[in-house]
Amino acid sequence: MSILRQHRCSSRSLTHVPRLSHVARSTCSATAMTKIGSSQSQLVIEPRLETKPDLVTPVIPSAGPPLPNDPSLQSTWPHRAWVASGCSTLVFSLAKTLMGAADSHMWLEPMVAGYVGYVLADLLSGVYHWGIDNYGDASTPVFGSQIEGFQGHHKWPWTITRRQFANNLHALARSITFTVLPIDILCNDPVIQGFVTMCAGCIMFSQQFHAWSHGTKSKLPPLVVALQDAGVLVSRTQHSAHHRPPYNSNYCIVSGVCNEFLDKNKVFEALEMIIFLKLGVRPRSWSEPGTEWIEETDEAQSQVTVH
């Protein structure tokens, strides 16, 4: 009796990275055969499989990381306009919170609501990040570009530090504008406004907090380092664990305060199991990381480690 344990290269689908479906079969054909009761392992080279062109998913050359001046990292005027729109929406929300609190002489409740919003934003950032790291691909409706962006981030994490501010935040700023502006207009409750201001603000700036967590201590503003060290913003140490195998922890990127609870209690692993049992969909984190998941070392950044 023997057990065949076949190691396959997993393929995470990504449009700018070749689909490895048949490449994996043809190149990863080394099979470890282990006999029970025997310590001997034999490496068997399987016959090379025929590599017919895949008519559905043609193999294209792998794209490299964006260059420092790559247009994909630059802010455009539409990016800036959306960030201005998101910031205006947040200022409007904050103004309504303060005016409502002043009118009702109620200050503690909006502040508590704001703190709840801050913690919830961290949780939501983790849930969203977990979802797009593990499910869907570039062709997924609505979230496709975000999924592609986060998968690219795992291969070239340092590029987030070179991405310009509005480029990094415009997608979230647009979502905040559409969801929060109606609440600003329709709601006058300072408690709800306090909650919305903090939650939406932290979500909108989460990508900036994320970028700072990839920064080098000596190059970050001292205030940012102090906030990271105090646990107000997600720390460089905590987020660096997300970029190390097995790539399935520390998903939260606002303050990281929810990460310990989520990881210790295996909340995301339980959700993955439920989704698998209900829908038969496996998360990417269950597969052996493919090349597009493993971080490439950047020459310029190879000296830079997370402190």
Show the site string, 108-137: x = touches Zn ion by CB under 5 A, - = not. Answer: -------------------------x----
As beta bridge partners, residue 149 has none
Minimum CB distance to Zn ion, residue 256 (Å): 12
Q: Report the residue number whose CB is nearest to Zn ion.
A: 133
Closest CB to Zn ion among residues 118, 212: 212
Closest CB to Zn ion among residues 133, 189: 133
**What is the number of other CB atoms lying within 10 angstroms of the CB of residue 37?**
5
Closest CB to Zn ion among residues 157, 190: 157
Show the site string, 256-295: x = touches Zn ion by CB under 5 A, - = not. Answer: ----------------------------------------
C-alpha span between 7 and 24 (Å, rounded): 10
Closest CB to Zn ion among residues 19, 284: 284
Minimum CB distance to Zn ion, residue 130 (Å): 8
Closest CB to Zn ion among residues 154, 174: 154
Show the site string, 133-152: x = touches Zn ion by CB under 5 A, - = not. Answer: x-------------------
Minimum CB distance to Zn ion, residue 204 (Å): 17
Minimum CB distance to Zn ion, residue 129 (Å): 6
Number of residues that bind Zn ion (CB under 5 A): 1
Minimum CB distance to Zn ion, residue 210 (Å): 6
For strands 30-35 and 2-6, give the pairing. Answer: antiparallel
Minimum CB distance to Zn ion, residue 275 (Å): 17
Minimum CB distance to Zn ion, residue 150 (Å): 6
C-alpha span between 60 and 40 (Å, rounded): 40
Residue by residue, what is the 3-state secondary structure of the chain?
Answer: CEEEEECCCCCCCCCCCCCCHHHHHHHCCEEEEEECCCCCEEEEECCCCCCCCCCCCCCCCCCCCCCCCCHHHCCCHHHHHHHHHHHHHHHHHHHHHHHHHHHHCCCHHHHHHHHHHHHHHHHHHHHHHHHHHHCCCCCCCCCHHHHHHHHHHHHCHHHHHCCCHHHHHHHHHHHHHHHHHHHHHHCCCHHHHHHHHHHHHHHHCHHHHHHHHCCCHHHCCHHHHHHHHHCCCCCHHHHHHHCCCCCCCCCCCCCCCCHHHHHHCCHHHHHHHHHHHHHCCCCHHHCCCCCCCCCCCCHHHCCCCCC
Closest CB to Zn ion among residues 174, 239: 239
Minimum CB distance to Zn ion, residue 306 (Å): 10
Closest CB to Zn ion among residues 88, 285: 285
Closest CB to Zn ion among residues 118, 158: 158
Closest by CA to 306, choosing from 158, 163, 205, is 158
Residue ranges in contact with Zn ion by CB under 5 A: 133
